[in-house]
A and B are shown apart, each in its own frame.
Chain A
């Protein structure tokens, strides 16, 4: 016994030291693993952002050609009566020569030759005759005048200044020739061709496969905005009311258990299921129009509700019972206790849940597929509330549509649209954080 007691003090410092070292080492290992996990996440995010921005950043600049166009009465209004009926009979095919002529004139003035007028005219987007026609029909008194226009350069020319098209690739490309690129360079030197910030990308509607340069997000942004409005207006009150009832008032029995399980289940149901439901209920049964934001909004509301309910219930549960008890103790009714004390405290959590739900809904395409919103839509929907019933597209739908198209210029646009979508999400999350801070400060 004695030598044991003699041995133990001699051994114990080193043993406890070894134990401490081991514990410290394991902590260091865990920290390192955590750091690696974070690094992998950050790396993946950076990789994603870099690839999107590398492909899409150039979308926000666009090449334009500035020309003085003579609105020739001999072509646009043969009778000379300035009768709108007569003028509107001239189709966009009749406006194309005006642009061709004015480009030829601009080239002749600067002594640019070596390319025939037809090929030169291909430098300008097919969208522009339509723009010119709209301009003239809006204001027929301009016929006979010479007006300066900023015309979109065609997709390949635009791609040339963004590095997508090169002289070597133009050699092989049946849609553009090296001569056209050289002409573009000469026009650039003459100051006719310029590259500027691309506001049109945010306001233009979608364009057909032959005009990637004119395609924009206008209709998609409006459609997404309308849908988010509907989702917010419907799912926030319904979701919050449901969770308050379930959390604070509902008796705990089989039925409420069943509801609870179902809500948790619904949150994990694939979103396309809600699309099928939307088609069956809102379009086929209720008779709402196809491709309309109202149907999209309703479907996304159904999809978002479980998320909001779960988040709200968790936030309500997190409020300490002492608050409730104190309120009831000073004589507040149950409803007063909840609305004056519990809900304001739970508000940051509720808002976070709502915004997460909305963000999820904003990025959703699958349910929209079945209700006809994955479509080529060029007409802007009207202002709300009528606009809720007009056909519209949505931001993720636009990304999906553009990645499917043949012209590589659409790939750039798709990446650009993703950037816009990311900015939207960032904006929403920022609002959530700001609101959360505000509510938190009050308590």
Chain B
């Protein structure tokens, strides 16, 4: 097989020499599939209104995108990584080690995470404590820590509908799961007192208690969905009692099929999330390789265009699609203009 590999490599090099002379004039973006719809909306508008070609936007996940960004500097590396979670110090270190010294962090807005069920089903009004009581492996019952006995939502709180508990939650490879764990499960764990019981069991170790909070039951009541929201939607279609976890924009595109649940008495909308009333949301980011700013034509323009008021503002196309506009957008615009690189975390 070596021989064929060799001949292919020769062919590749021959082709490469004829093409590499022309510099890349297209912006290359990769990363989070949550940010992808927003990035493609901006890329499309950018291609329509500027002399530069439409950027290429890849999905593949936040982590993969950041890893690609940190691969090095040069035309065959990407310019921007979209990310639905903040970059980690280890990513920054990898970047530095590979010669990517300056990266800009751009926060584009907030993404709401909503809980929705079939449009013809019951109405739900949840609190994070309900979700913890429904899905956790261990809950407090009559003052004791026991294996989760709850079967119906009404077992948890009598004013919840008498429906069997069945939840489709994002699988562990999704960034959404992290937010779900932190803002719903752990928050609910603290709310309903399980956290204290778990902390006591772990001799006061809060980290261990939080970890124990996130242990979900494995008796088929909580189902991890490793695919995307379309899969969750079709699962709900087949299982009318189930409740699924969605992004706000996905829900807004399917309001004729899904009924959204309130969380802590607040209905998720762009407004309630922007006001900080709805508890389950997270910031979305993209990271720009500063070394490419003057090399790849249009990169600076794209970054500025993305955070401009007419795109990312509260009346722009992104907000219309379900992105919660960042109240501090003006600050971001300023930073982008000055190409302010991010420092190290902590």
Binding site for B on A (CB under 8 A): 91-93, 126, 130, 133-134, 165, 169-175, 207-211, 234, 238, 242, 259, 262-263, 266, 281-284, 286-291, 294, 298, 301-302, 305, 369, 372, 374-379, 385-386, 388-391, 401, 403-408, 411
Q: Are A234 and B253 in contact, CB atoms less than 8 angstroms apart? A: no
- State A411–B228 Cα separation when bound (angstroms): 13
Taken together as a complex, chains A and B put the C-alpha atoms of A386 and B24 apart, in Å, by 12
Task: Kindly identify, within residues 1 to 57 of chain B, every residue whose CB is under 8 Å from any CB belonging to chain A.
Answer: 1, 3-5, 7-9, 11-13, 15-16, 18-20, 22, 24, 26, 28, 30, 33, 36-37, 39-41, 43-45, 47-49, 53-54, 56-57
Task: Please tell me if the beta carbons of B18 and A403 are within 8 angstroms of each other in the complex.
Answer: no
Closest to A301 in B: B8
B167 CB, min distance to chain A CBs, angstroms: 20
Report the minimum CB–CB distance from A334 to chain B (whole Å). Answer: 21
Which residues of chain A have C-beta atoms less than 8 A from B102's C-beta? Answer: none
Query: Least Cβ distance of A312 to chain B in Å?
Result: 13
Residues of B within 8 A of A301 (CB): 8
10 interchain pairs (CB within 8 A)? A130-B48, A209-B41, A238-B7, A281-B12, A290-B76, A372-B58, A389-B15, A404-B228, A405-B230, A407-B253
Residue contact B12 to A298, C-beta cutoff 8 Å: yes
Beyond A298-B8, A407-B253, 16 extra complex contacts between A and B, CB < 8 Å: A93-B310, A171-B256, A174-B252, A210-B41, A263-B1, A287-B76, A291-B56, A302-B5, A374-B58, A376-B58, A378-B47, A379-B47, A388-B19, A389-B20, A404-B230, A406-B250
Q: Mark B52-67, 1 if CB is under 8 A from A, else 0.
A: 0110111110000000
Looking at chain B's contact residues, is the secondary structure mostly helix, strand, loop, or mixed? helix
Closest Cβ–Cβ distance, residue B309 to chain A (whole Å) = 11
CB pair A92–B28 under 8 Å, yes or no, is no
- In the complex, how many angstroms separate the beta carbon of A127 from the nearest chain B beta carbon? 9
- Would A209 and B12 be within 8 Å (CB), given that A289-B76, A372-B30, A378-B54 are in contact? no
Give 1 or 0 for each of B312-329: 1 = CB within 8 Å of chain A CB: 000001001100000000
Q: Judge whether B119 and A379 touch: CB under 8 Å.
A: no
B320 — which chain A residues lie within 8 A by C-beta? 210
Given the interface contacts A294-B19, A301-B8, A404-B33, does A92 sit within 8 Å of B45 by beta carbon?
A: yes
Q: How near does chain B come to A76, taking the closest CB pair, in angstroms?
A: 14
Q: Tell me, rounded to whole Å, the shortest Cβ–Cβ distance linking A415 to chain B.
A: 13
Closest 4 CB pairs of A and B: A389-B19, A378-B54, A406-B253, A169-B256
Measured CA separation A266–B4 after assembly (Å): 12
Asked if A406 meets B22 with Cβ closer than 8 Å, knowing A290-B76, A378-B47, the reply is no
Cα–Cα distance between A290 and B310 once the two chains are bound (Å): 31
When chains A and B are docked, how far (Å) is the Cα of A369 from the Cα of B33? 13
Give min CB distance, B62 to chain A, whole Å: 16
B229 within 8 A of A: yes
Residues of A within 8 A of B230 (CB): 403-406, 411
Specify the chain B residue showing the minimal Cβ separation from A133.
B48
Partner of B59, one of A133, A288, A375: A375
Assess the A389–B58 pair: CB atoms within 8 A.
no
CB of A234 within 8 A of CB of B11, answer yes
Provided the pairs A286-B16, A376-B43, A378-B47 are in contact, do residues A406 and B254 lie with their beta carbons within 8 angstroms?
Answer: yes
| Chain A residues, Cβ within 8 Å of B48 | 92, 130, 133-134
Question: A287: nearest residue on chain B (CB-CB)?
Answer: B76
Q: Kindly state the separation between the CA atoms of A173 and B255 in the bound complex, as whole angstroms.
A: 5
Inter-chain contact B255/A374, CB cutoff 8 Å: no
